[in-house]
């Protein structure tokens, strides 16, 4: 019985079969809706529990998050033993990382490769902000759309000049169009990353999963304050006295 249930879950058989209850939208309308949802969130402050698994092992920590437009980002990682273990900051141009446990301070350009050094997932700060807002990096232009009856989802396909593709699954029930899944694939079909949003409440997902190669990141949001005033000082960081300063570069 357990084996049969597992097969059903893998096949998505537990999802209801639903017909679209409204006129079919164009690919341009769906794409514009996803863009507008992201643009509606200019700033955010949040707290979350993070479960991260990568080649280096698995960790579970509490984090305080804040972001603003133009790639500004602040992530404070709490130690399970108390206090702050690390702080990542971007002002949109500069990347700063404070390792409080090893007395090291890293500085460099705000690129995806530098984010990956410390978060294990390769996204630029502005792309991280999109994920935290309940959206995803949009890497391409709309190519086609279709209705997926199982689960009642609008499926929007994006194509990029380099031949890569991105598929967006939107909740079509009652035409809410919340983003449920975003998956980016290389020209050869290999999945480069996958983002899943679930448990929506007040227009935001309570849970977000990010999978990129061997790295898996899950956020369970405990609080969210969208479009709040954030001080500029939140996106600045200086090395404390005695910390070793190291420069990290981008390829």
Rounded Cα–Cα distance for residues 118 and 104 (Å): 13
Rounded Cα–Cα distance for residues 156 and 148 (Å): 10
Rounded Cα–Cα distance for residues 86 and 208 (Å): 21
Which residues of the chain carry a pLDDT beneath 50? 1-11
pLDDT number for residue 7: 40
Inter-residue contact 20 to 158 (CB < 8 Å):
no
pLDDT number for residue 13: 57
Strand (E) or helix (H) holding 132 = helix 125-132
Q: How many residues does the chain have?
A: 251
**pTM, entire model:** 0.91
Map tokens 């699954």 to a residue: 169
Average pLDDT across the chain, whole number = 93
What are the Cα distances from residue 30, in Å, to 33, 44, 122, 173? 5, 24, 26, 14
Q: How many CA atoms lie within 13 A of 186 on its CB side?
A: 6
**Ramachandran bin of 206, using left for φ above 0, alpha for ψ from -120 to 50, beta for the remaining angles:** alpha
DSSP string for residues in 32-101: HHHHHHHHT---EEEEEEEEEEETTEEEEEEEEEEEETTTEEEEEEEPTTSSEEEEEEEESSEEEEEETT
Domains in the chain with CATH codes? 22-247 (2.50.20.10)
Rounded Cα–Cα distance for residues 32 and 178 (Å): 13
pLDDT number for residue 3: 40
pLDDT number for residue 212: 95
104-109 vs 244-247, strand pairing mode: parallel
In this predicted model, what pLDDT tens digit does every residue of 184-201 receive, in sequence order?
Answer: 999 999 999 999 999 999
């Amino acid at each position: 019985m357990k084996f049969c249930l597992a097969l059903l879950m893998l096949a998505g058989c537990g999802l209801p079969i639903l017909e679209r209850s409204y006129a079919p939208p164009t690919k341009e309308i769906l794409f514009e809706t996803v863009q507008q949802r992201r643009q509606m969130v200019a700033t955010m402050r949040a707290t979350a529990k993070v479960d991260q698994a990568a080649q280096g092992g698995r960790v579970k920590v509490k984090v305080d998050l804040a972001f603003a437009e133009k790639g500004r980002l602040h992530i404070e990682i709490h130690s399970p033993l108390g206090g702050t273990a690390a702080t990542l900051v971007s002002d949109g141009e500069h990347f700063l990382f404070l390792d409080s446990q090893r007395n090291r301070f890293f500085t460099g350009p705000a690129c995806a490769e530098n984010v990956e050094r410390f978060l294990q997932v390769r996204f630029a700060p502005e792309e991280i902000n999109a994920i935290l807002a309940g959206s995803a990096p949009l890497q391409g232009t709309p190519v086609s759309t279709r209705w997926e009856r199982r689960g009642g989802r609008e499926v929007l396909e994006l194509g990029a000049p380099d031949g890569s593709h991105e598929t967006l699954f939107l909740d079509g029930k009652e035409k809410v169009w919340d983003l449920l899944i975003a998956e980016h694939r290389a020209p050869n079909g290999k999945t480069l990353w996958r983002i899943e949003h679930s448990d929506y409440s007040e227009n935001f997902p309570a849970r977000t999963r990010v999978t990129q190669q061997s790295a898996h990141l899950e956020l369970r949001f405990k609080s969210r304050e969208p479009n709040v005033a954030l001080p500029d000082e939140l996106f600045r960081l200086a090395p404390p006295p005695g910390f070793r300063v190291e420069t990290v570069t981008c390829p």
